[in-house]
Chain A
Amino acid sequence: MSRLSRIPRAGDARPRAVVLHACLVPALLLAHALPGPARAAQSDDSCTGFIDSIPASITKQGTWCLRQDLSGNLIHGEAIEILTNNVTIDCNHFKLGNLAAGAGTAAAGIDATDRVNITVRNCTVRGFHKGIALEGAGGGHLVEDNILDGNTSIGMSVLNDGSIVRRNRVLDTGGSSVFASVVGILTTGSVDILDNTVSGVVAPAGSNGSARGIRTWEAYDAAVSGNRVRGVQADGTGISFAVSNQESARVVLRDNDLSGDGTDVGISCHDDSGYALQNTINGFVEAVVGCAGHNNVVKLP
Chain B
Amino acid sequence: MPRTLPFLLPALAIGLWAPAAPAAESYDNCTGTIAALPAATSTQGTWCLKGDLGTDITTGAAITVATNNVTIDCNGFKLGGLAAGDGTEATGIHAPNRRNVTVRNCNIRGFFRGVHLTGEAGGGHQVEDNMFDGNTFAGIDVQGDGSVVQRNRVRDTGGSTQTPIASGIRVTGTIDVLGNSVAGVFASDSSDAHGILTIANAGGSINGNRVSMVLANPGTAYGIYNPFNGRMSMRDNDLSGPDTGIGVSCTSDAAILRDNTLLGFATGNDGCTNGGGNVFHAP
Q: Which residues of A contact B (CB under 8 A)?
A: 1, 3, 5-7, 9, 11, 23-24, 26-28, 30-31, 34-46, 67-69, 92-95, 124, 147, 149, 169, 171-172, 197, 199-200, 228, 230-231, 257, 259-261, 280, 282-283, 297, 299
25 contacts between A and B (CB under 8 A): A23-B6, A26-B9, A27-B9, A27-B12, A30-B13, A38-B27, A40-B50, A41-B25, A42-B46, A44-B26, A45-B26, A93-B29, A93-B71, A94-B29, A169-B124, A169-B126, A172-B124, A199-B174, A228-B204, A228-B205, A230-B202, A230-B203, A230-B231, A261-B231, A283-B231
Residues in B with CB closer than 8 Å to A67 are 28-29
Q: Indicate if B160 sits at the interface (CB-CB under 8 A).
A: no
- The 5 tightest CB contacts between A and B, nearest first, are A259-B203, A31-B16, A230-B203, A43-B26, A297-B275
Give the interface segment out of B72-80, B87-95, B216-224: B72-80
Q: B50: nearest residue on chain A (CB-CB)?
A: A40
Cβ of A5 and Cβ of B148 under 8 Å apart?
no
Q: Mark B147-163, 1 if CB is under 8 A from A, else 0.
A: 01000000010000000
Q: Indicate if B232 sits at the interface (CB-CB under 8 A).
A: yes
Q: Indicate if B145 sits at the interface (CB-CB under 8 A).
A: yes
Q: Indicate if B266 sits at the interface (CB-CB under 8 A).
A: no
Known: A36-B17, A40-B25, A92-B28. 9 other contacts (CB 8 A): A6-B52, A9-B133, A23-B9, A41-B73, A43-B23, A200-B146, A259-B233, A280-B256, A299-B231
Q: Which residues of B contact A (CB under 8 A)?
A: 5-6, 9, 12-13, 16-17, 19-20, 22-31, 44-46, 48-52, 54, 69, 71, 73, 75-78, 80, 82-83, 100, 102, 107, 109-110, 123-124, 126, 133-134, 145-146, 148, 156, 174, 176, 202-205, 207, 230-233, 235, 254, 256, 258, 273, 275-276
Whole-angstrom CA separation of A125 from B92 in the bound complex: 28
Name the one of B13, B27, B145 contacting A27, with C-beta atoms under 8 angstroms: B13
Cβ of B17 and Cβ of A230 under 8 Å apart?
no
Cβ of B30 and Cβ of A41 under 8 Å apart?
yes
- Contact A45 B22, CB 8 Å, known A67-B29, A197-B148: yes
Whole-angstrom CA separation of A93 from B103 in the bound complex: 12
Cβ of A147 and Cβ of B25 under 8 Å apart?
no
Cβ of B9 and Cβ of A228 under 8 Å apart?
no
State the Cβ distance, B31 to closest chain A Cβ, in Å.
8
Whole-angstrom CA separation of A28 from B69 in the bound complex: 38
Whole-angstrom CA separation of A28 from B46 in the bound complex: 30
State the Cβ distance, A35 to closest chain B Cβ, in Å.
8
- Contact A40 B27, CB 8 Å, known A34-B17, A282-B233: yes
Residues in B with CB closer than 8 Å to A297 are 256, 258, 275-276
Identify which of B22, B28, B45, B49 gathers the most chain A CB atoms within 10 Å of its CB.
B28
Whole-angstrom CA separation of A259 from B234 in the bound complex: 12
Cβ of B82 and Cβ of A7 under 8 Å apart?
yes
Residues in A with CB closer than 8 Å to B28 are 38, 41-45, 67, 92
Q: A68: nearest residue on chain B (CB-CB)?
A: B45
Cβ of B9 and Cβ of A39 under 8 Å apart?
no
Cβ of A149 and Cβ of B100 under 8 Å apart?
yes
Q: B45: nearest residue on chain A (CB-CB)?
A: A69
Cβ of B24 and Cβ of A43 under 8 Å apart?
yes
- Contact A43 B232, CB 8 Å, known A30-B13, A69-B44: no
- Contact A30 B17, CB 8 Å, known A40-B48, A169-B146, A257-B233: yes
Whole-angstrom CA separation of A67 from B222 in the bound complex: 44
Residues in A with CB closer than 8 Å to B29 are 41-44, 67, 92-94
Cβ of B235 and Cβ of A299 under 8 Å apart?
no
Residues in B with CB closer than 8 Å to A23 are 5-6, 9
Cβ of B13 and Cβ of A94 under 8 Å apart?
no
Whole-angstrom CA separation of A1 from B27 in the bound complex: 16
Cβ of A200 and Cβ of B145 under 8 Å apart?
yes
Identify which of A171, A231, A259 gathers the most chain B CB atoms within 10 Å of its CB.
A259
State the Cβ distance, B77 to closest chain A Cβ, in Å.
7
Residues in A with CB closer than 8 Å to B102 are 93
Q: B16: nearest residue on chain A (CB-CB)?
A: A31
State the Cβ distance, A25 to closest chain B Cβ, in Å.
10
Whole-angstrom CA separation of A93 from B48 in the bound complex: 13
Identify which of B29, B76, B207 gathers the most chain A CB atoms within 10 Å of its CB.
B29
Cβ of B230 and Cβ of A27 under 8 Å apart?
no
Whole-angstrom CA separation of A27 from B10 in the bound complex: 7
Residues in A with CB closer than 8 Å to B24 are 42-43
Whole-angstrom CA separation of A283 from B254 in the bound complex: 8
Residues in B with CB closer than 8 Å to A299 are 231, 254, 256, 273, 275
- Contact A3 B78, CB 8 Å, known A40-B48, A231-B203, A282-B256: yes
Cβ of A6 and Cβ of B26 under 8 Å apart?
no
Residues in B with CB closer than 8 Å to A7 are 54, 80, 82-83, 109
Cβ of A93 and Cβ of B146 under 8 Å apart?
no
Whole-angstrom CA separation of A299 from B258 in the bound complex: 12
Residues in A with CB closer than 8 Å to B44 are 69, 95
